[in-house]
Amino acid sequence: MEIFERIRRKKDFLAVVGLGYVGLPVAVAFSEQVKTLGFDINREKINIYRQGIDPTREIGNTKMQGSTLEFTTDPGRLKEAKFIIVTVPTPVNGDKTPDLTPVINASRMIGQNMSAGTIVVFESTVYPGVTEDVCVPILERESKLTCGEDFKVGYSPERINPGDKVHTLETIQKIVSGMDRDALENIAAVYGLIIRAGIYKAPSIKVAEAAKLVENAQRDINIAFMNELAMVFDRMGIRTQDVIAAMNTKWNALGFYPGLVGGHCIGVDPYYFIYQAELLGYHSQIIAAGRKINDNMAIFVANAVIKKMIQADKHVKKSSIYIMGITFKENCPDIRNSKALDVCKHLAEYGIKVKVVDPVVDKAEFQRECNEELVDIGDVHDADCLVFLVAHRQFKELELTELAGMFKQQNQPETNVVVDIKNIFAYSSIIEMGYCYWSL
């Protein structure tokens, strides 16, 4: 427990490599307890953080401005740390195979700047075996040190839920693992400094790596099941929400709902499992099927928009269509792997140009990614169709009278189209207003 004691007594630094939606909250939380370095290769991002600005909205500007976290883009400073946490992204390639480039580059950089006696803990989502079979050889080669003798490794899957102010880093039980008992105990003790919900010690690094994939694949499959039901019920003329409400009266109903599944976890992690299974000669059936259903939901939603527009007797290409919400989930500014963006792309294939309203998304990032300007919610007065894809708080607080003011005043109510993917509005109330309404 020597490393833990030195960290706890603030004799050595703890470092977090990769300061995004996961790394920043981890680094700030540790900085409240121990000497902490926050490292990222993105100089622009670090400059913004140093100004006390939190574009992720996970910490908030006030807490950022009061934090003692030391930000750096200098990899040489990692020599000062005896406990290094890696929280870089692990996306997928265009062919849905794992892209380990960020974690490989991070391992290379850490190896070049790591001192003897360090523990390196990976939080980035990977398939079982990556930490020990991919990262460790890189660390050894670059550092000229021997794993198990000169440094040790562990794995602790991140469980941060972006935009969630209830299930925060400190209130979610933390899975930890280590290459041996000494590493495990040190890692558990260090994370115990900030995690109030408790520490779960996995029996091996591979088990911890697998646990992350499984918990997200489980959600993906359950949502895919609900999405498949929604598509079939739509053909039957049955409201999916009415079926769910009836089903949920049973004690063991799981409480899942249909929707667009994007983001950097649920929409990505199952592909890591599928890839590893294929390498081992097994073709995933359930998980792969779930991914296929969820990946195609954007097409289903886009087609539903067009169908309702035609039913409302609209000239679709000449109509004013607003996409309400473009991020991958509610109350989170992240647009990575957003299926709302995919809905826009599918509509564009028909020559339909939409306008986007999102009070949460980072405007600069949206401009870079989409080369378009956002529309403020207060400037929506000429709509023929409102497509609510994300249940941001600002949308859920809208009164139906405010909704009426967003449509063209010359429109008859039955020609005003509302597509409500997240069932933000009460069905009975919006039908009473005479709108052409569709929900998932």
**Which residues have a catalytic role annotated?**
265
| Residues 32 and 214: beta-carbon distance below 8 Å | no
**In the beta sheet, which residues pair with residue 176?**
201
Looking only at the bridges linking them, the beta strands covering 151-155 and 174-178 are antiparallel
**In the beta sheet, which residues pair with residue 199?**
174
Q: DSSP letters of 237-292?
A: T--HHHHHHHHTTSTT----------TTTTTTHHHHHHHHHHHTT---SHHHHHHH
CA–CA dist 177, 6 (Å, integer) = 20
Q: DSSP letters of 80-98?
A: GEEEEEE-----B-TTS-B
Query: Where are any strands of DSSP class E within 392-432?
Result: 417-420
Which residues fall within 8 angstroms of residue 36, CB to CB, at 6 or more apart? Answer: 13, 14, 15, 16, 27, 30, 68, 69, 70
Maximum distance among all Cα pairs of the chain, rounded to whole angstroms? 77
CA atoms within 13 A on the CB side of 341: 17
For residues 88, 89, 94, 98, the Cα torsion angle rounded to the nearest 10 degrees is 80
| Residues 128 and 210: beta-carbon distance below 8 Å | yes
- Supply 105's token pair: 């580059």
Which residues fall within 8 angstroms of residue 296, CB to CB, at 6 or more apart? Answer: none
| Residues 88 and 47: beta-carbon distance below 8 Å | no
Which residue is associated with the tokens 């989930």? 329
Q: DSSP letters of 237-250?
A: T--HHHHHHHHTTS
| Residues 213 and 238: beta-carbon distance below 8 Å | no
CA–CA dist 5, 2 (Å, integer) = 5
| Residues 388 and 420: beta-carbon distance below 8 Å | yes
Q: Write the burial class of residue 94 (CB in 10 Å: 0-12 exposed, 13-18 middle, 19+ buried).
A: exposed
**In the beta sheet, which residues pair with residue 324?**
357, 388
